[in-house]
Chains A and B, each alone.
Chain A
Amino acid sequence: MSVQGGRVGRRLVVAVPYLWLLLFFLVPFVIVLKISFSEVRLAMPPYAPLLEWTGDRLAAIRINFENYSYLFTDPLYVSAYLYSLKVAAVSTVLCLLIGYPMAYAIARAPGTWRSVLLMLVILPFWTSFLLRVYAWIGLLRNNGLINNALMALGIIDEPITMMQTDFAVYVGIVYAYLPFMILPLYANLEKHDPMLLEAAADLGARPITAFLRITLPLSVPGIVAGSLLVFIPAVGEFVIPSLLGGADQLMIGRVLWDEFFSNRDWPVASAVAIVMLLLLVVPIMLFQRFERRELEERA
């Protein structure tokens, strides 16, 4: 009785998250997928149904691939995808270069300092994300804090244009996603046995060699986790490029928004979303394979 009860309970526990994912991830995904294969129509909803009764027990299924082929004929979409991938990749590398030394320093800090430093990394989350991005406008614009300060110091005569540039987008994304790089890296580096570095030194390795041959390879899981946590959301980032970036280069998140709300072309917008999802599923799957291998290594 109790064994059976335990089994039922275990199934219930597993079933709840599955049900949740089914309802709020798979079903919406199927709906979007369905819309992406239909035709745009001036109606409510603004697309044609895939399945239509043509009377006499006959149904016509109309699957329209044009939305997808359209994405690859209009250079706007391809360039938006490529630009998004580039921005995400560059931001990820910048986050890694800035975040690694920070995570390392926190992991090596004395115990009492560690929690304070970690707290400082997480502290920005207490403020609204939108507000923090707006604050960057105040810093970066022509008569903003940075330009005014530089002019007052006499370093520059004219304000440097930083707003509506790639630079501003990178600043925004790196700033916003840095904690997602630092935290997994810290979690990894903190577990390293300091004895290993002593052993390396004992065997004749200088500190830089010991870092490159011991610390760095052992922190690869942290680097991979942090990079994916930055890269994946950065590809679809909408708010930061919209507020800080220029109008000449659009990221895919912005294109998606425009298709849905300005063009009201739901089928194309859905196709954009599906392609983006496929672009992101590849790195996620790579990540999961990597994680699985890690777990097997440890077992």
Chain B
Amino acid sequence: MRPEPLDPWRDPKAEPYVRIEGVTKKFGDFVAVNDVSLEIYRGEIFCLLGGSGSGKTTLLRMLAGFEQPTAGRIVIDGQDMTGIPPYDRPVNMMFQSYALFPHMTVEKNIAFGLEQERLPKGEIAARVAEILEIVKMTPYAKRKPHQLSGGQRQRVALARALVKRPKLLLLDEPLGALDKKLREHTQFELINIQERLGVTFIVVTHDQEEAMTLASRIGVMNHGTIAQVGTPTEIYEFPANRFVADFIGSVNMFEGRLVEDEPDYVRVESPELGATIYVSHGISSPPDARVWVAIRPEKIAISRERPDAQENVARGVVREVAYMGDLSIYLVQIDSGKMVRVTQPNITRHADGRITWDEAVYLSWDPTSPVVLTQ
């Protein structure tokens, strides 16, 4: 995480830059966005993360002004955006398909937005040259979009939106069309540019990895509603509900019953695990409630010998091993019959001592690792 004096969303005095207030969007009977409220602060990279049809793109299009909310309102920098057309908003968007003008050169594409502001020719040329430098596209200024590679088009689209010096930049799947290597490289470049220019980014993506690396905060969307808002760590380590726990990364989920509910620990009896789970943090839920315990695969230890602990241990047989290079994934069938996913980093280069197919193993985890979910 980048060092910041105080995250603006934790500062009660901070004024949000973008305020989405109870926004709903219906297309006929279909509710694309359902009563969403969000506050986004200056200088953030806020990621809207969700699957297809989760309403993230519709929300972005309402911010840009291409769609009008059916109910609720959007306030940007203290100004109510209701009824304001896209061309009068202090917002620019980078389109998923880039939407570069095919009949204009790179230079002309980038200058287009500045020409609309009726700036003097000299200033336009200077600002175009400057932004071309930033996105490292100066040698391609005279090319047309069809003469560029996917990565180069992405840079031009970014430059075209940034050259207007918007306070708020909307990015629709900014890395979606790039291959994996290029994506990683571009991600860090995006963050660099964002920090350098101090623009607030709202990024729509379906790729959780992308959201995790880019975002200061993530808003996870599901069926038109916000399932959870938080920093990448919060979202991953403290998911608010089963949807988020399952959507972000992989997780082992055990259904159970709350048997002991103390302020500093809980015990969950789970027939699915065939044992009780001891969790060293309290939750606020009525006793006897139906709960789910989520444990991330990398937080489970796998061993041949039975660990000393009495609780948080399960016995099973390795059914699958997948070697991924940096880590190995084990699918272990525990005594109750349930499959549990465990990942272990491959610390040594030799495979001799490694646990392999059909071995009887013990799984164990720290009492701080599981998350108890009530919904």
Q: Which residues of B contact A206 (CB under 8 A)?
A: 87
Q: Which residues of B contact A297 (CB under 8 A)?
A: 144, 146
Question: CB < 8 Å: which of A193, A198, A217, A298 contacts B66?
Answer: A198
Q: Does B85 contact A (CB under 8 A)?
A: yes
Please measure, in the bound complex, the distance between the C-alpha atom of A202 and the C-alpha atom of B161, giving whole angstroms: 9
Q: Decide: A204 and B117 in contact? CB cutoff 8 A.
A: yes
Please measure, in the bound complex, the distance between the C-alpha atom of A198 and the C-alpha atom of B95, giving whole angstroms: 9
Q: Decide: B101 and A214 in contact? CB cutoff 8 A.
A: yes
For the A-B complex, the count of residue pairs with Cβ-Cβ distances under 8 Å equals 59
Binary contact readout B34-78 vs A (1 if CB under 8 angstroms, 0 otherwise): 000000000000000000000000000000111000000000000
Please measure, in the bound complex, the distance between the C-alpha atom of A255 and the C-alpha atom of B48, giving whole angstroms: 72
Q: Which residues of A contact B100 (CB under 8 A)?
A: 199
Q: Does A195 contact B (CB under 8 A)?
A: yes
Q: Does B160 contact A (CB under 8 A)?
A: yes
Interface residues on B, range: 20 to 34
Q: Decide: B101 and A209 in contact? CB cutoff 8 A.
A: no
Question: Using a Cβ–Cβ cut-off of 8 Å, how many residues does chain A contribute to the interface with B?
Answer: 19
Q: Decide: A204 and B87 in contact? CB cutoff 8 A.
A: yes
Question: CB < 8 Å: which of B103, B112, B144, B146 contacts A203?
Answer: B112
A196-B99 contact, Cβ under 8 Å, with A202-B64, A213-B112: yes
Please measure, in the bound complex, the distance between the C-alpha atom of A218 and the C-alpha atom of B100, giving whole angstroms: 13
Chain A nearest Cβ from B315, distance in angstroms = 56
9 smallest beta-carbon distances between A and B, as pairs: A203-B113, A204-B116, A199-B99, A195-B99, A201-B86, A201-B87, A202-B93, A204-B87, A205-B116
Please measure, in the bound complex, the distance between the C-alpha atom of A193 and the C-alpha atom of B101, giving whole angstroms: 10
Q: Does A146 contact B (CB under 8 A)?
A: no
Q: Decide: A196 and B66 in contact? CB cutoff 8 A.
A: no
Q: Does A200 contact B (CB under 8 A)?
A: yes
Q: Decide: B102 and A199 in contact? CB cutoff 8 A.
A: no
Please measure, in the bound complex, the distance between the C-alpha atom of A198 and the C-alpha atom of B99, giving whole angstroms: 9
Q: Decide: A205 and B92 in contact? CB cutoff 8 A.
A: no
A197 nearest in chain B by CB position: B99
Give 15 CB contacts A-B under 8 Å. Answer: A196-B99, A196-B101, A198-B66, A198-B99, A199-B95, A201-B87, A202-B65, A202-B91, A203-B112, A203-B113, A204-B87, A204-B113, A205-B116, A217-B103, A218-B103
Q: Does B217 contact A (CB under 8 A)?
A: no
Q: Decide: B101 and A202 in contact? CB cutoff 8 A.
A: no
Please measure, in the bound complex, the distance between the C-alpha atom of A265 and the C-alpha atom of B73, giving whole angstroms: 81
Q: Which residues of B contact A203 (CB under 8 A)?
A: 87, 92, 112-113, 116, 160-161, 164
- In chain B, residues 354-372, which have Cβ atoms closer than 8 Å to a Cβ of chain A? none
Binary contact readout B153-184 vs A (1 if CB under 8 angstroms, 0 otherwise): 00000001100100000000000000000000
Please measure, in the bound complex, the distance between the C-alpha atom of A64 and the C-alpha atom of B233, giving whole angstroms: 94
Binary contact readout B93-124 vs A (1 if CB under 8 angstroms, 0 otherwise): 10101011111000000001100110000000
Q: Decide: B87 and A205 in contact? CB cutoff 8 A.
A: yes
Please measure, in the bound complex, the distance between the C-alpha atom of A193 and the C-alpha atom of B97, giving whole angstroms: 10
Interface contacts beyond A203-B160, A203-B161: sample of 14 additional A-B pairs, CB < 8 Å, sorted by A: A193-B97, A195-B97, A195-B99, A198-B95, A201-B65, A202-B87, A202-B91, A202-B92, A202-B93, A203-B87, A203-B112, A203-B116, A209-B116, A297-B146
Chain A nearest Cβ from B297, distance in angstroms = 40
Please measure, in the bound complex, the distance between the C-alpha atom of A214 and the C-alpha atom of B101, giving whole angstroms: 7
A220 nearest in chain B by CB position: B103
Q: Which residues of B contact A209 (CB under 8 A)?
A: 116
Chain B nearest Cβ from A74, distance in angstroms = 47
Q: Decide: B66 and A205 in contact? CB cutoff 8 A.
A: no
Q: Decide: A204 and B103 in contact? CB cutoff 8 A.
A: no
Please measure, in the bound complex, the distance between the C-alpha atom of A198 and the C-alpha atom of B65, giving whole angstroms: 10
Q: Decide: B103 and A193 in contact? CB cutoff 8 A.
A: no
Q: Which residues of A contact B92 (CB under 8 A)?
A: 202-203
